[in-house]
Structure 1
Amino acid sequence: MNQDNRYVICMKWGSKYPAEYVNRLYNMVKRHLTLDFQMVCLTDDTTGINPDIKCYPIPELNLPANLPERGWKKLTTFKPELYDLKGTALFLDIDIVIVDNIDCFFTYNAKHEDSVVIIRDWKKPWRMVGNSSVYRFKIGQNTYPKLLTYFEQNFEKIRQEVRHEQAFLSNYLREHHHLEYWDSSWCVSFKYHCLQKIPLAYFIPPKKPSGAKIIVFHGEINPPDAITGGGGKWYRHVLPSEWIKAAWQ
């Protein structure tokens, strides 16, 4: 495998999101990425997924059974050998919406070879925690050889210290490798940056921030809610977004 390969990787497990989300993500990437790439989905169910997307099983993690879901599975993207994949990978959550060209996520020149480039958390940026909805890393090159081993061997301690995989990942990378952040205008939160404040939210639909390339949906609102309106808490009233409807297909 060529180390210059580019991959766009997503992950789907369980029944929360249907295959439609994966297929729409692939369509958006094709429209907004001019560079050659291979789309990869790590999943427990390939039913309905576009055959142009290369699917692999989600690697197993050596963790206690019946854990509450915190996205720990995402950490398996850092396996030193992940099937036959080798090159540069951009991980995207399947519920994001791409609204502009994303070549920059591959052409961004990181300061260090082992840097992971990630979204800087919007709510509490001083914590320096990354939001793992969009992150770029070296795949299948043994760049982060001990990350998963450390996580599995110290899981009970880690789960007492952090709530989810992105906090562990951010802390580990800052200590053992390098963590960099995307330009703050590239990846924006739908609920923090697009929704109007109450009471304006009842009269003015969500806006697309200038310079935004990827809209991240986290919490209770998903792309279908943004399209039809609704889905938010009372203090995050959601009117229909025609621009999300145009992009999410």
Structure 2
Amino acid sequence: MQTVICMKWGTRYGPEFVNRMWAAVKRNTARPTRLVCLTDDETGIDPDVQCFPIPDINLPPNLINTPWRKLVLWKSPLADLSGDVLFLDLDLVITGSLDVMFHFEPGRYCVIENWTQMGQGNGNTSAFRFPVGKHADIFDNFQADPDRVLSSYRIEQLYISREVSDMVFWPDLWCASFKHTLLPPWPMNFFKAPGLPEETRIVAFTGKPDQDEAMRGEWPVKAGWKKLYKHVRPTPWIAEHW
């Protein structure tokens, strides 16, 4: 049994994001696969998704709803999980088979090479596979002294990248960034819709636009001058896969 896990807290992403992910996981796996969701509210989530409470973590109140909360995934024990588990953020679209992501470099922490820091040894935790319990010190050390970690690292994925010695990056284009990989460069983004490489399995929509906004060709921006370059054409393939 393959296990995909996600997390949902607060109100930005409703239960429909979890349900869409579950439908996409089923479409893109040939082997038996389940979806586990760590959440503070399982209302509206498909009953076939296995929900567990988010474990407690020693975080300041202003950081509890930030990606730092994902450090609970390194806790041991963690729900009923064991072996290699694939974590996926809710702000992504699954566009290809996930099965191969369970066979790649078994027993190691596999993560996206951060698109904006290529060659610097930094992972992006939008999609990563990890061996449950193998690196529990990541969680334990943070719990013991969060101020030390928070003063040393700006974001959790940098902390993990420095703590895991056997980190390996996914092959190129398996995990693409909508903004940094697929969006045509300015000014072509005003005339050409983002494409989708055949080998891409996951497209991450970090920041803005969200999946539904990019699908419609909308990019919400607060500063008027940013409209001069923050633009996306309607992207039909999102509706096909999301």
TM-score bracket relative to the smaller structure: over 0.9
Counterpart of 1:165?
A: 156
Structural mapping, 1:68-217, within 5 Å: 69-110=65-106, 113=107, 115-139=108-132, 142-174=133-165, 178-217=166-205
SS at match of 1:47: coil
1:153 Cα shift? 2.1
Could you tell me whether the CA contact under 8 Å between 1:26 and 1:39 is conserved in 2? yes
* One of 184, 207, 216 as aligned partner of 1:219: 207
Offset, 1:223? 0.3
Stretches of structure 1 lacking an aligned partner (at least 5 in a row): none
SS state of the match for residue 51, structure 2? strand
The letter of the residue matching 1:170 is: S
Give the corresponding residue for 2:237: 243
Two-structure CA RMSD over aligned residues (Å) = 1.5
Check conservation: 2:10, 2:65, Cα contact below 8 A.
no
Contact conserved, 1:63 with 1:155, CA < 8 A, in 2? yes
Quick one: distance in 2 between partners of 1:73 and 1:129? 19
CA separation of 1:198/1:145 partners in 2, compared to 1, >3 Å: closer, same or farther? Answer: closer
Instruction: Among all aligned residue pairs of Structure 1 and Structure 2, give the percentage whose two residues are the same amino acid.
Output: 37
Deviation per CA, 1:83-139: give whole Å up to 9, x if none: 2222321000111101111211011134xx4x2100011111222110101111122
TM-score, length basis structure 2: 0.92
CA displacement at 1:82 relative to structure 2:
1.0
User: Which consecutive unaligned segments of at least 5 residues does structure 2 have?
Assistant: 221-225
Query: Offset of 1:68 from its aligned partner?
Result: 6.3
Residue type at the aligned position of 2:160: L
- State how many pairs are aligned: 236
* 3-state secondary structure, aligned to 1:56: strand
Give the Cα separation in 1 of the matches to 2:128 and 2:63.
Answer: 24
Q: Which amino acid aligns with 1:106?
A: F
Range 232-241 or range 147-156, more displaced: 232-241
How far is 1:154 from its partner? 2.8
| AA at the equivalent of 1:240 | P
Q: Deviation per CA, 1:159-193, whole angstroms, max 9, x where unpaired?
A: 1222211111111113xxx1011001200000012
For the residue of structure 2 that corresponds to 1:91, the secondary structure is strand
- 2:6 alignment partner in structure 1: 10
Structure 2 letter corresponding to 1:128: G
1:57 deviation in Å?
A: 0.5
Contact 2:75–2:140, Cα closer than 8 Å, also in 1: no
Q: Report the Cα distance in structure 2 between the residues aligned to 1:227 and 1:201, rounded to whole angstroms.
A: 14
Q: SS of 1:218's equivalent? A: coil
The answer to whether the 8 Å contact 1:6/1:87 transfers is no
- Partner Cα distance (2:131, 2:119) in 1: 26
Give the 4+ runs in structure 1 shifted more than 6 A: none
